[in-house]
Amino acid sequence: EAQVTQNPRYLITVTGKKLTVTCSQNMNHEYMSWYRQDPGLGLRQIYYSMNVEVTDKGDVPEGYKVSRKEKRNFPLILESPSPNQTSLYFCASSTLGGGSYNEQFFGPGTRLTVL
C-alpha cells in the first residue's frame, strides 16, 4: 500500500530533550516536506527536500533540522525542543515533474507536546 508513515504518532517530552520524528514514504517520491499545524495559523512549511541531499527552509525552520540521506526517509530533528514547538506535525511527499508540483501525500500526523 502506497503510504507515508510517521513515528511516533504522539509524543510528550520536556524542554531541551532532543527528539526525532521519523517520516518514510514507499512511493519513490522526490519531494518531501514537513509542516506544523497550529490553531488559527493553518499549515506552515518547516523544511522541504527536492531530492536526496537537497534540503531547504520553508516558512518556519527555526529550531528544527532535517536530513535526506535516502530518498524514502526525511526525519525531523528538534535539538532542544521548547514549549512553542508544541504542535501537530505532518510529513508529506510528492513527485515532481514538468516544473510543477503534484499531489502531496500526507502522513497521519504527529502530535507533539513539549512541557
Provide CB contacts within 8 A for 94, sequence distance 6+: 29, 30, 31, 101, 102, 103, 104, 105
Q: Which is nearer to other proteins, 40 or 69 (CB)?
A: 40
The residue within the footprint of other proteins, chosen from 21, 23, 29, 35 (CB under 8 A), is: 35
> Is 19 one of the binding residues for other proteins (CB under 8 A)?
no
In the window 70-99, what residues touch other proteins (CB under 8 A)?
88, 90, 96, 99
Cell numbers 531541551: residue: 16
> Is 31 one of the binding residues for other proteins (CB under 8 A)?
yes
Q: Measure Cα distances from 31 to 18, 64, 86, 94, 108 in Å.
A: 26, 18, 25, 5, 17
Residues found near other proteins in the complex (CB under 8 A):
31, 33, 35, 37, 40-45, 48-50, 56, 58-59, 88, 90, 96, 99-101, 103-104, 106-109
